[in-house]
Amino acid sequence: MYIWFRDGEPVYVGEAKGVQGLRGRLRAHLAIGTDLSRSTLRASVAVAQLGVTRAYARQRPSVMTDAEITLVNEWLTACELGWRECATGPAAHDLEVKLRSEWTPPLNIL
């Protein structure tokens, strides 16, 4: 599981599942293209920072402007990232649920 921080505060907690695991999730979150549909985090940044709707941010093909995408990318670049390896998938899920409950990160969809 992984946590994004901004100015020392947790803003997003996620779980890296599947074949590509953490590497695949980070690749999706750090992508610089206009398609935000593959990353809930990038779409959430667009919603929070640009005031657009989630449907607009995740639309395919993307209707986001280059300036909007640049803002999302720059916002994420200013974040710090931490992760914790868990022994099992259920353990990672339980930790994610616990941290989301304790911290209520603003970019996680409730």
Specify whether the CB–CB gap between 78 and 9 falls below 8 A. no
Beta-bridged to residue 5, according to DSSP, are: 10, 80
- Tens-digit pLDDT string for the chain (110 aa): 999 999 999 999 999 987 789 999 999 999 999 999 999 999 999 999 999 999 999 999 999 999 999 999 999 999 999 999 999 999 999 999 999 999 999 999 87
- Domain regions of the chain by residue span: 2-103
Hey, what are 15's tokens? 């779980």
Q: What's this model's pTM, rounded to 2 decimal places?
A: 0.91
Side-chain-side CA neighbours of 21 within 13 Å: the count stands at: 8
